[in-house]
Amino acid sequence: MTPVVFDLDGTLIDSLPDVTKAVNLLLTEEGQPLLDASVVNTFVGSGEQVLMQRLIAATAFEPGDHERLMPRFIAHYKVAALDTKLFPGARAALDRLRAAGVPIGLCTNKPRAPLIPTLEAAGLDDVFGVVVAGDDLPKRKPDPAPLFHCFQALGVETGVYVGDSEVDAETAQRAGVPFVIYAHGIRVKPIAEIPHDVVFDDFGALDGILAAL
């Protein structure tokens, strides 16, 4: 079976509650109204810098607040990540792929500081052959460089990318690899408007999908 690289947030883990918690802890400290998860959903996918830019634009913060707010957001996020939950069947699917000898990697825009406790809390810290965090390279998804780096570290030139969002879809397109999208992930557009090869809503079906690709 071809090598597989996974996105993390919204693909393997249900991280939107964690991000929302971290955002609202920051807003509480600043005396600002809390935001619903549906609003925070529109902030995520492109890394913490873009998240902060969108948060500032949606609140009473000023652009100049970015630098002072970011370390506090990351600190809250590292704590919130301890409550991270895997999507049902995700770990079993990863274990099956590993047992079958399939090289698997992780390519995420999440920065490494909160990524490490997130993986540990989810029990995924020893699963992947390579892990590429959002701040490991000069460029982030949807630039294909992190995905290419992930495949190269696995010792291959190409493979399949499994994600959940518009950012993941564009990354796969620009890398020229098949894209499998998880139906219960984090996105703004409907799945029908996001380029993909296959959509799935049950990790029990992932083996067959990947084998077919």
93 and 153, same domain (yes or no): yes
Region 192-212: mean pLDDT is: 96
Q: What is the CATH number of the domain that holds 118?
A: 3.40.50.1000
Residue at a domain's end among 41, 67, 83: 83
- Look at residue 1 and tell me whether its pLDDT is greater than 80: no
Paired with 180 in beta bridges are 162, 198
pLDDT tens digits, 72-93: 999 998 888 888 889 999 999 9
114 and 142, same domain (yes or no): yes
Residue at a domain's end among 62, 83, 104: 83
Residue at a domain's end among 83, 102, 123: 83
Q: Is the dihedral of CA 16, 104, 94, 169 positive or negative?
A: positive
- CB 120 within 8 Å of CB 114: no
Query: Rounded CA gap, 210 and 95, in Å?
Result: 14
Angle between helices 166-175 and 145-153 (to 10 degrees): 70
- CB 69 within 8 Å of CB 59: no
pLDDT tens digits, 98-136: 999 999 999 999 989 889 989 998 999 999 999 999 999
Query: Rounded CA gap, 192 and 152, in Å?
Result: 31
**Residue 169: domain span:** 4-14+84-212
Q: What is the CATH number of the domain that holds 35?
A: 1.10.150.240
Residues annotated as catalytic (active site), given as ranges: 7
